[in-house]
A and B are shown apart, each in its own frame.
Chain A
Amino acid sequence: MTIIETRQPGTVAASTSGFDVERVRRDFPILARTVHDGLPLVYLDSAATSQKPLAVLDAERAYYERHNANVHRGIHVLAEEATALYEQARDKIAAFVGATDRREIVFTKNSSEALNLVAYAMSNAVSGGAEAARFRLGPGDEVVITEMEHHSNLVPWQMLCARTGATLRWIGLTEDGRLDVAHLDEIITERAKVVSFVHQSNILGTVNPVEKIVARAREVGALTVLDGSQSVPHMPIDVVELGVDFLAFTGHKMCGPTGIGVLWGRRELLEVMPPFLGGGEMIEVVTMEASTYAAPPHRFEAGTPMISQAVGLGAAVDYLTGLGMDAIAAHEHEVTAYAIDALSAVPGLRIIGPPTAQDRGGAISFVLRDSDDRPLHPHDVGQILDEQGIAVRVGHHCARPVCLRYGVPATTRASFHLYSTTAEVDALVEGLDQVRRFFLR
């Protein structure tokens, strides 16, 4: 199978942005490897995790080779260098998302922890002082999410409701994979204390209308939390423009290492938000009876943090910024539009999610039927694609309610990143043809 060579003329190479995807691919050593005895790797699983450029690998290695020490507690050279590198990473990430204050960046281990941090801080507010009242909730109060949340932005809120007696409500979905915002005012009411929703769906690819939801949440005085796991890696993000109160995202989906995520929060909110995890680093004064807490962000960073991972994420942000998030978004939009057209032409294939590239990112879920119109299970689809060197994700993508909503047990998902090409889309389409033929026999 020729994969890289089958690029269609006039697609990626002709990108008006000047984005050179072949040059970008050379920065990612793993993309040159082969699988299954010599097949080129076609990596279409970036929504699960992105691959890492050399710049990130080099930064982590250099950190350990030259600067490794614990942060914020030593007075020796290495400790000072490590602390400076860790805090520089915070500066880079603050700039990357348009934060006006570096203290608004809290390092977590991933998006899940960032979202749990807010949810647990809210239940810890029960024992907090008057300034924590904003975060307190109980019976009669409501938490609003959407039906397209990843389990990481669903389960923590279910748990918060169970702990506090608050009620969970959600914005439903339309047939074509969009949020049903027609009845927003009936779902987000004066009872809502927090509205937490995904910016770009990991399963449907939908990019949600942040402005509309934030406007309604503000009207009723609810806090807003945005899950940016699938948006921050793929488009320019400015937290001030978004207007939300909190933004969660994870490093490993944006070319950074695993084990590092971020909670951005408005400074005036972080100042009064109770802590989640207790321990070293997050304290001010400790006695045997009680403790007072450090100012943000350290209040929310108990224990030795993920130092090399933060440095690696800082390098990832430099890398992405160097290429330009506008150019990356434009490139991915091109690949996504091409893929939607190409996949729509595959017999028996149904896209689960918006059928156009409008307000949509590069995660495309679909189900496939064989020529007798029987559904092919995504596991079987994924297995036979893998045999051809094509890596996709199959299953419910940690968004089982979405599968229930569209009446499918699971989907196959192809997802793109800055290094994805239309030639890889062609390989996928050809691979799906093989899948249908395999089960035909």
Chain B
Amino acid sequence: MKLDSMYQEIILDHYRNPHHRGLRDPFDAEVHHVNPTCGDEVTLRVRVADGVVADVSYESEGCSISQASASVMADLVIGKSVAAALELEREFLALMQSRGTQEGDEDVLEDAVAFSGVSKYPARVKCALLSWMAWKDATAQATGAVQAAVPEQEK
């Protein structure tokens, strides 16, 4: 089936056994993102410490692509500096917008290259991006909060 290019085994593995699932403390920001056309939802928490993504945890409901993507994303960004993680997000976004023309750099995106096949299906790209957008939003809030908190502590 042609779909094998979308439903790679690696995606199905993450879907069946998602990593980092379940909301955890402590966290600096929590967001709730939805995909209004299909009903996919994710609640996602981010902990940022010393400019590093210290933790990402989430609860989500949705299709295999959105579930697997959340798992892969959390694997990738946890432990990375915020700047490096944001660079990964840009790489992944470019891959998903490539309409099947790019394979992705496995050294950089690791398991996330498995989603290159999804980019051929415009209706599913948003599924793969849901958790990444939620993470980006939460991280912006978390780093904003941290930066705002610093002067307060210095006073």
Contact = CB atoms under 8 A, between A and B. Distances in A.
A associates with B: yes
A380 interface: yes
B39 A410 contact: yes
Contacts of B37: 395
B2 A36 contact: yes
Given A379-B62, A383-B124, A410 B38 contact: yes
Interface string A396-415: 10001001000001100000
A384 B1 CA distance: 9
Nearest to B127: A379
Contacts of B63: 377-380
A352 to B, nearest CB: 13
B38 A379 contact: yes
Interface string B27-42: 0000000000111110
A396 to B, nearest CB: 5
B64 A387 contact: no
A170 to B, nearest CB: 20
B6 A409 contact: no
Contacts of B40: 379, 409
A438 interface: yes
Nearest to B121: A383
Interface in A296-346: none
Interface string B1-42: 111001100001000000000000000000000000111110
Given A377-B63, A380-B63, A394 B124 contact: no
B105 interface: no
Interface in B46-69: 61-67
Contact of B39 (A36, A400, A439): A400
Contacts of A438: 1, 3, 7
Contacts of B6: 383
B129 to A, nearest CB: 14
B39 A403 contact: yes
Contacts of A439: 12, 64
A9 to B, nearest CB: 31
Given A379-B65, A409-B61, A396 B39 contact: yes
B7 A409 contact: no
B65 to A, nearest CB: 7
Select the residue from A378, A384, A396, A409 with max chain B CB neighbours within 10 A.
Answer: A409
A377 B65 CA distance: 10
Nearest to A36: B2
A379 B62 CA distance: 8
A383 B6 CA distance: 10
A379 B124 contact: yes
A380 B38 CA distance: 11
Nearest to A376: B64
Q: Among A36, A380, A394, which residue has the most Cβ atoms of chain B within 10 A?
A: A380
A396 B3 CA distance: 24
A395 B124 CA distance: 12
A370 B89 CA distance: 32
B64 A380 contact: yes
Given A379-B124, A379-B127, A394 B38 contact: yes
Nearest to B4: A438
Nearest to A400: B39
Interface in B96-155: 121, 124, 127
A384 B39 contact: no
A36 B6 CA distance: 15
A366 to B, nearest CB: 15
A355 B66 CA distance: 31
A238 to B, nearest CB: 36
Nearest to A379: B63
Contacts of B64: 377, 379-380, 439
A387 B124 contact: no
Given A379-B63, A396-B39, A387 B12 contact: no
Given A396-B38, A439-B12, 17 more contacts: A36-B2, A378-B38, A379-B62, A379-B66, A380-B7, A383-B3, A383-B121, A387-B1, A387-B2, A395-B39, A400-B39, A409-B41, A409-B61, A409-B62, A410-B38, A438-B7, A441-B12
28 contacts: A36-B2, A377-B64, A379-B38, A379-B40, A379-B64, A379-B65, A379-B66, A379-B124, A379-B127, A380-B7, A380-B63, A383-B6, A383-B121, A387-B1, A387-B3, A395-B38, A396-B39, A400-B39, A409-B39, A409-B40, A409-B41, A409-B61, A410-B38, A438-B1, A438-B3, A439-B12, A439-B64, A441-B12
Interface of A: 36, 377-380, 383-384, 387, 394-396, 400, 403, 409-410, 438-439, 441
